[in-house]
Amino acid sequence: MAGQARDAAIVGIHEYPSRDVEGQISPLQIKAESAARALQDAGLTWSDVDAIYDAGEGGGMGGLAMAEYLGLQPNIIDTTNVGGSSYEFHAGHAKRDIAAGKARVALLTYGSTAHSNAAAIGVGGRGGGIHPVDNMESFSGMTLIANYAMVAHRHMYEYGTTSEQLAEISIATRLHAMRNPEAVEAMTALEFLDIRETSIDDVVNSRMIADPLHLLECCMISDGGGAVVIAAPEVARDCQKPPVWILGSGEATKYPEIGGDLTTSAAVQSAPQAFGEAGVTPQEIDIAMVYDSFSITVLTLLEDLGFCNKGEGGTWVEGGRLRFDRPGDGPALNTDGGGLSSNHPGMRGIFLLIEATRQLRGESCSQVDNAKLAVAHGNGGMLGSRHSGGTIILGRD
């Protein structure tokens, strides 16, 4: 890794601890508090920030409103919003802007009160009526989760994937969640039943939500948020925590096409960009923080990121190889508990960066020994329909 570019590093992180704020705090307040704590984590101040990256989920006019709310006058305002992968796009853009000399300290924030607002994320349609093919889907009641169920059915049909294999993803993330006090508190606050490690039988015998996806294969709906601070090398070297370098980035989008493959995601385009820029292979990755809206999301993305061939994901995940304590078998998956068992306020991409950074600092609750490389891959929109893919490769000195 000595020859890799060190253009920008994550130097500060914070995850808002509560997943159920009971309407007592706004998304903007979550963003602001998280930003303050992330800057404190880095040993920086508000006056150091000269770039804002914002997906507009806090309301108002995105980056413009955030600059005023935080009292900043940034040189860069990036308001890219591509759903749950927005923060991987932001991290890549921050690296590019810092390398170009346009900024020195970038701030990424996220805040959501999806749970307090009783947002029916999974059972709702895409809304807005802005997509040109809504007339082909909305009239039949196509919901968000139906897109993922459709992908799961197709994967099963094409490759013989089973529900038991998909369940491996849920049980690995729950194992990690049970080691994370904030995840356990989240499941308690959101009134999960029988909070414990789960088995394959638990998953496949849980209530069917959208055939073939069961309850324990679906993400929670929570409140939450967080912040990430990214800095130039000359700043990063003097921060309080060891820098976690952004080694490579890639971004892509995918949408329905005649003859298209439902089981292939935008990661097939974004991942080679990121791995190529970083100069590493999937087989070298210690930590895989992969967007887990549903179990099938992870299985598809693991294939498309290059951890195994298309169609081999089912057999590849068998036997608990995604656990944090099986480092020789492959990357540890979503060691914070993921969207399935820790938090999912609607756009989870920032938490992938946060937990990957924890791992590379040695601060995770499910710490992988001597973790050196991580991938954070966000998926925005709807798998099986139009969606985005953002891939970030992170490494430590």
Cα 56 from chain centroid?
17
Q: What is the pLDDT of residue 118?
A: 85
Q: Strands 105-112 and 373-381: what pairing?
A: unpaired
In angstroms, the CA 182 to CA 159 distance is 37
In angstroms, the CA 144 to CA 215 distance is 15
Nearest 5°: CA angle at 164, between 179 and 209? 85
Structure tokens at 49: 């920030």
Structure tokens at 329: 């078998």
At 4, is the secondary structure helix, strand, or coil?
coil
Q: What is the pLDDT of residue 327?
A: 76
Q: At what angle do helices 295-305 and 267-278 cross, to 10 degrees?
A: 50
In angstroms, the CA 168 to CA 73 distance is 47
Nearest 5°: CA angle at 212, between 208 and 215? 35
Q: What is the mean pLDDT of each run of 10 residues along the chain (397 residues)?
A: 80 97 92 98 98 90 86 96 97 98 98 89 54 58 88 98 98 98 97 97 97 97 97 97 98 91 96 98 98 98 98 97 89 98 96 98 97 97 92 97
Residue 16: closest CA among 28, 5, 8: 28
Residue given tokens 């940034």 in the structure block: 74
Q: What is the pLDDT of residue 133?
A: 56
Ordered domains of the chain (ranges, CATH): 9-118+220-396 (3.40.47.10)
In angstroms, the CA 203 to CA 180 distance is 20
Q: What is the pLDDT of residue 365?
A: 98
Question: Residues, the chain, total?
Answer: 397
Q: What is the pLDDT of residue 131?
A: 52
Please check whether residue 302 is in contact with residue 271, taking contact to mean a CB–CB distance below 8 angstroms.
no
Write the secondary structure of 149-192 as one string of H (helix), E (strand) and C (coil).
Answer: HHHHHHHHHHHCCCHHHHHHHHHHHHHHHCCCHHHHHHHHHCCC
Concatenate the DSSP letters of all residues of 115-129 into one string. TTTT--TTTS---TT
